[in-house]
Amino acid sequence: MEPGWLVIEHPVEPFKIKMVEPIRLLSRDERAKRLDEAHWNVFRLKSRDVFIDLLTDSGTAAMSHSQWASLMQGDESYAGSSSWFRLEETVRNVLGIDYILPVHQGRAAERILYRWLLRGYRRAIVPANSHFDTGKAIIEDSGGIPVDLPTPHSRDRSSRYPFKGDMDVSALESLMRREHDNVPFILLVITNNTVGGQPVSIENIKAVREIADRYGKPLVMDICRFAENAYLVKERDPVRRSMSVRDIVREMLSYGDHFVMSAKKDGLANIGGFIATRVYDAYEELMARVVMEEGFITYGGMAGRDLEAIAQGLMEVVDEDYLRYRVEQVRYLGELLVHEGVPIIEPVGGHAVYVDALEALPHIPRSNYPADALAAYLYLESGVRGVGLGALAFSRVIGGRVVYPERELLRLAIPRRVYTESHLKYVAKSLGKVIAERHKVKGLEIVWEPRIKGVRHFLAKLKPIDAP
């Protein structure tokens, strides 16, 4: 081991382990076989063939003993479940928003809210700091045009600008001046998943709110990772250093009108979500849609026990000892990767480390999906599963030309409270080796893809370029 290896320290976990789930590392030959069977798309692998699974932080958290205990108190009544009232009360307390509707996961919240906001628009343009894949697909499928307006700081991979999740306010202003009649709402994704799990500053939220007010448009927030964003604000915003995370959460969300939440992220639960709004009329309208599409308004497609687990999870997620551990663990993986010579997006954001696949694999053109190739070869060489977020997910054909997204990223998302220091060391060493031996990595081509382009990275069948 090189000297200086241990300068960066893994945070001490603020919990101990009560239950274990065995994992197994297959041999390289077995992994090669599984990867072929999965058509070189890591979404198609069986989880039992994965050693360390950093595909997503969504629904993969380890629940606490209090969450497991609360499951037993789930009230499974169809209407008026007491588990629902506990969740509703908790959301009001933690987030400071009054009107809440349950849905089975985040994309159901997006579908119901966005479709309602888009009604009556012939050419709806939806500006965001950066759309995430599910929301983007839903807006496109509803005939809308999602527009990404991330801060220019987010384009510089190694800029240490503290709030790379921000929206480009002057770009928003000029878009609104030209197109305000076609804009049904403005969206802030908090943290900004697509540009690297980067936090959005409160100053930026305020500036976007001001523009929304000036044009009379609602401001929607996707708050999947509200607690991680609040913790990063506390760390990086000198004005808010002495505020509690709970107070920062309330301030941050006070500027929004409507909210979509996936409880699979900062709900510390394995399934669930909700729509929240400050506008009573919207609540009334959305209520009927939830009944029609998800279930009655006191369960929304979830079991009563899920409602309990989310209520408990929302209280645990704003615990500052937990958040410090969470954010420092993700940063620890980032620092190990830098040490291994892996080009990552800096500073490291809240839930994942993002690797710049164009820089890591300069020999692979974008038309051969370098981010997804890196994900496939990382699995092949180590059994570690990350996910590509690049041309396969986000390129679109516009006017006969392929328009590529800003970046090709390999995302290593860290499930909450699941992996330990040695797991992360294994990941960093493995990826370092794949990149050091980059000449072995081949680009990929598509063998089959679904007709809905927005979900093609989940489902596409691929193969390495010179494979038969």
Ligand X SMILES: *Cc1c(COP(=O)(O)O)cnc(C)c1O
Chain residues binding ligand X by CB under 6 A are: 58, 105-107, 132, 134-135, 189, 193, 222, 224, 262, 264-265, 273
Beta-carbon count within 10 A of 238 CB: 7
Residue 294 in tokens: 């998800």
Q: Which amino acid is at 16?
A: K
Report the residue number, 289 or 425, with the smaller CB distance to ligand X: 289
Report the residue number, 388 or 464, with the smaller CB distance to ligand X: 388
CA–CA distance, 239 with 253 (Å, rounded to integer): 17
Q: Cβ of residue 200: shortest distance to ligand X, in angstroms? A: 12
DSSP string, 164-206: TT-B-HHHHHHHHHHHGGG---EEEESSBTTTTSB---HHHHH
Q: Cβ of residue 262: shortest distance to ligand X, in angstroms? A: 3
Helix/strand number for the chain, H first, E second: 17, 16
Q: Cβ of residue 300: shortest distance to ligand X, in angstroms? A: 13
Give the H/E segment covering residue 388: strand 387-389
Nearest residue to ligand X on Cβ basis: 106
Report the residue number, 380 or 389, with the smaller CB distance to ligand X: 389
Report the residue number, 105 or 204, with the smaller CB distance to ligand X: 105
Report the residue number, 271 or 336, with the smaller CB distance to ligand X: 271
Report the first-to-last Cα separation within the chain, whole angstroms. 40
Report the residue number, 196 or 273, with the smaller CB distance to ligand X: 273
Q: Cβ of residue 110: shortest distance to ligand X, in angstroms? A: 6
Contact between 271 and 60 (Cβ < 8 Å): no
Q: Cβ of residue 219: shortest distance to ligand X, in angstroms? A: 16
Helices (H), 340-420: 357-360, 370-382, 391-394
Report the residue number, 87 or 434, with the smaller CB distance to ligand X: 87
Report the residue number, 67 or 430, with the smaller CB distance to ligand X: 67
Q: Cβ of residue 179: shortest distance to ligand X, in angstroms? A: 24
% helix, strand, coil for the chain, step of 5: 45, 15, 40
Q: Cβ of residue 191: shortest distance to ligand X, in angstroms? A: 8
Q: Say how many CA atoms lie within 13 Å of 96 toward its Cβ.
A: 13
Report the SS3 class of residue 151.
coil
Q: Cβ of residue 46: shortest distance to ligand X, in angstroms? A: 20
Report the alpha-carbon angle 407-232-209, nearest 5.
80
